[in-house]
Chain A
Amino acid sequence: MSDELHSVRVEAERCRGRMACLRACPTEAIRVRNGRATILEDRCIDCGECVRACPHGAIQPLTGSFTDFARFRYTIALPSPALYGQFRREILPGAILRALTRIGFDEACDLAWAGEAVSVAIDEYLAEYRGPLPLISPFCPAVVRLVQARFPALVDQLIPMDSPMEIAAREVKLRKAAEVGLRVEEIGVIYLTPCPAKIVAVEYPPRKRASYLDGAIAIADIYQPLLTALARESPQGGEGQQVRGLGLAWPVLGGQASCLRTEDTLAVGGLREVARILEDVENGKLSELQYLECHACPQGCCSGPLTVENPYFARSKILHLVSRFGREPSRDRDQIRDLYRQGYFSLPGRFPPQPFPPLDADIPRAIEKRTRMKEILEALPGIDCGACGAPTCHSFAEDVVQGRAALEDCAVLTAEQARRSRHTALA
């Protein structure tokens, strides 16, 4: 994983070493050294929890801005449907898409239809599939990386299917190129993202094949201009795109599962909870389920770290849209089934395992290091105070064994030793 770039960076001058990120990181990828946070690149899965946690905005996603996209002759905004949940109830998707064209994009296209289409494709896939269950949703890139890194034995249970954003980008780009007579390279399709994980999926698509997306802008970064543009829109009136279909439910936890034919589903949000469920799957449990919908964010994409609204408000707004516009299908189902059989939704190949690096590439040496780690752990206080700059005593013990930290960095041990030597001196 270390050859890949990540989607967040620490702005050292803003970091005050408060350690909120240290505790928030679900993969223990952050260390605070000399009062500044640093990210262990090979343990980061781009979930964005640190972005959410930092009180000083010192951890920033590497999203784009409008100026990055000046090189295109025609720009199309492709917002995550999570965007629809960011504005009050009466503001409908059509108005939001229109407002996007007022703030600099030549066009804005809905992608909720692609969520519905992918759901139909999953129905077909589940009906044909004969391998180990449950199958795991591959649409949250942070979850995919968690599976590859911490549960590599489960990679074959990730459904090898493309994400709605990729499918929509491909379709929009090819259609537009034909429509306006531009070359595909002259059209920029920009994803409006609720999270850093999707940025990585845009920049480094799974299986390293070319993406039809040309960049990503954080929803939080376009929120203000969009709000201003929306104030001048009539919320519902005017000609607009028809946004409808069950795909509208995708950005909320359980939304994907609700689109499927099977009821043998389970939806789980938040990486720690996802990890607990995956532990069970790894232990051979939950095989009575067909589909495990996993999101890094507790309420699904509508609560992504780069969104603005309260997650429960966003959820309620999305569910409101589903009940108003969800029943009418966005595309013909038979046509989608045909496309599925032509491989329209499939990812080439499967997801490769990419385990977190072990203590040592050499097993006998790794065994020795793990033994040393156990001895250190037994000496440590076990209170996970974080004062050493590592999130837990366990990760500190690993740092010591790997030469990234010294035992004296443990404030509790050092204080105890000082007390003891004072005691001896007095006696």
Chain B
Amino acid sequence: MPGASVFTQQFEVRGRDFANAGRASTAVKEILKEIGVPPATVRRAAIAAYEAEMNVVLYARRGTLELQVSPAEIRLHVWDEGDGIPDIELAMQEGYSTASEEIREMGFGAGMGLPNIRKNADEFRIESVVGQGTELDIRIRL
């Protein structure tokens, strides 16, 4: 849809900042509801945004979650500075996790994050460079 407007907003996410974890995805959800995105689609986007945000909190130093909403789709674009993922194929498997004991004790790191994102997205792309960071591109059609 040429010329159609796109809403864009970026949220900064800090690694290990558990006190504020989930804020970005809550804000994303509120915006989608204000725009009138159907409830089932909001829920899919909410789960994807939450898992993506938690990946930054758990495994990276810092990251950015960018929300774009066009009349055609919701895009969640997330990039972080962190250790990166050595084997993406393995990381995409349900239950596979490199989470430390400490993270697991907090109730995270069950290895469902990335599979959950893929399950809720219409399109999902992931790229990662070890030692630099990870980039996710999540699209959900409207």
Of the listed stretches B43-51, B80-88, B130-138, name the one at the interface; the rest are far from the partner chain: B43-51
Tell me if B35 and A359 are in contact (CB < 8 A): yes
Tell me if A364 and B4 are in contact (CB < 8 A): yes
Contact for B42 among A153, A361, A373, CB less than 8 A: A153
Question: Among residues 360 to 393 in chain A, which have CB atoms less than 8 Å away from a CB atom of chain B?
Answer: 360-361, 363-364, 366-368, 370-371, 373-374
Tell me if A283 and B36 are in contact (CB < 8 A): no
CA distance A358 to B26 in the complex (A): 17
Question: Among residues 29 to 68 in chain B, which have CB atoms less than 8 Å away from a CB atom of chain A?
Answer: 29, 31, 33-37, 39-40, 42-43, 46-47, 50
Residues of B contacting A125 in the complex (Cβ-Cβ under 8 angstroms): none
Tell me if A355 and B39 are in contact (CB < 8 A): yes
Residues of A within 8 A of B (CB): 150, 152-153, 279-280, 282-284, 353, 355-356, 358-361, 363-364, 366-368, 370-371, 373-374, 398
Known: A153-B43, A282-B43; 5 extra A-B contacts, CB below 8 A, are A279-B22, A284-B46, A367-B6, A370-B69, A374-B9
Residues of A contacting B26 in the complex (Cβ-Cβ under 8 angstroms): 279
Residues of A contacting B7 in the complex (Cβ-Cβ under 8 angstroms): 367, 370-371, 374
CA distance A359 to B7 in the complex (A): 13
CA distance A371 to B31 in the complex (A): 10
Tell me if B50 and A363 are in contact (CB < 8 A): no
Q: Is the interface of A mostly helix, strand, loop or mixed?
A: helix
Contact for A368 among B5, B31, B33, B50, CB less than 8 A: B5
| Closest-CB distance, B26 to chain A (whole angstroms) | 6
Tell me if B35 and A363 are in contact (CB < 8 A): yes
Contact for B39 among A353, A368, A374, CB less than 8 A: A353
CA distance A359 to B31 in the complex (A): 10
Given A283-B22, A364-B71, A358:B5 Cβ within 8 A = no
Contact for A358 among B8, B33, B40, B47, CB less than 8 A: B33
CA distance A282 to B50 in the complex (A): 10
What would 14 A/B residue contacts be, using CB atoms closer than 8 Å? A152-B39, A280-B22, A284-B46, A355-B39, A358-B35, A363-B71, A363-B142, A366-B35, A367-B4, A367-B35, A367-B71, A370-B35, A374-B7, A374-B9
Interface size of B by CB at 8 A reads 29
Given A367-B69, A370-B34, A283:B47 Cβ within 8 A = yes
CA distance A374 to B35 in the complex (A): 12
Question: Among residues 1 to 16 in chain B, which have CB atoms less than 8 Å away from a CB atom of chain A?
Answer: 1, 4-9
Tell me if A153 and B39 are in contact (CB < 8 A): yes
Tell me if B34 and A366 are in contact (CB < 8 A): yes
CA distance A24 to B47 in the complex (A): 30
Residues of A contacting B37 in the complex (Cβ-Cβ under 8 angstroms): 363
Residues of A contacting B1 in the complex (Cβ-Cβ under 8 angstroms): 364
Given A367-B71, A368-B5, A374-B9, A150:B33 Cβ within 8 A = yes
> Ordered nearest first, which 8 A-B pairs have the shortest CB separation?
A358-B36, A153-B43, A152-B39, A153-B39, A283-B50, A366-B35, A364-B71, A284-B47
Tell me if A358 and B34 are in contact (CB < 8 A): yes
CA distance A359 to B41 in the complex (A): 17
| Closest-CB distance, B44 to chain A (whole angstroms) | 9
Given A152-B39, A283-B25, A371:B33 Cβ within 8 A = no
CA distance A283 to B30 in the complex (A): 12
Residues of B contacting A398 in the complex (Cβ-Cβ under 8 angstroms): 34
CA distance A360 to B129 in the complex (A): 42
Residues of B contacting A363 in the complex (Cβ-Cβ under 8 angstroms): 35-37, 71, 142
Residues of B contacting A282 in the complex (Cβ-Cβ under 8 angstroms): 29, 43, 46
Residues of B contacting A284 in the complex (Cβ-Cβ under 8 angstroms): 46-47, 50, 116
**Which of A150, A284, A355, A368: most chain B CB closer than 10 A?**
A284
Residues of A contacting B69 in the complex (Cβ-Cβ under 8 angstroms): 367, 370
Assess whether B93 is interfacial by the CB under 8 Å rule. Answer: no
| Closest-CB distance, B15 to chain A (whole angstroms) | 19
Assess whether B100 is interfacial by the CB under 8 Å rule. Answer: no
CA distance A102 to B60 in the complex (A): 69
CA distance A356 to B6 in the complex (A): 22
**Which of A359, A370, A373: most chain B CB closer than 10 A?**
A370
| Closest-CB distance, B55 to chain A (whole angstroms) | 14
Residues of A contacting B71 in the complex (Cβ-Cβ under 8 angstroms): 363-364, 367
Residue of B nearest to A285 (CB): B50
**Which of B4, B37, B40, B43: most chain A CB closer than 10 A?**
B43
Assess whether B70 is interfacial by the CB under 8 Å rule. Answer: yes
CA distance A77 to B28 in the complex (A): 47
Tell me if A153 and B40 are in contact (CB < 8 A): yes
Tell me if A371 and B5 are in contact (CB < 8 A): yes
Residues of A contacting B9 in the complex (Cβ-Cβ under 8 angstroms): 374
| Closest-CB distance, A261 to chain B (whole angstroms) | 25
CA distance A370 to B27 in the complex (A): 13
Tell me if B36 and A359 are in contact (CB < 8 A): yes
CA distance A280 to B25 in the complex (A): 11
Residues of B contacting A370 in the complex (Cβ-Cβ under 8 angstroms): 7, 31, 34-35, 69
Residues of A contacting B29 in the complex (Cβ-Cβ under 8 angstroms): 279, 282
Residues of A contacting B116 in the complex (Cβ-Cβ under 8 angstroms): 284
CA distance A340 to B6 in the complex (A): 51
Contact for B70 among A279, A367, A373, CB less than 8 A: A367
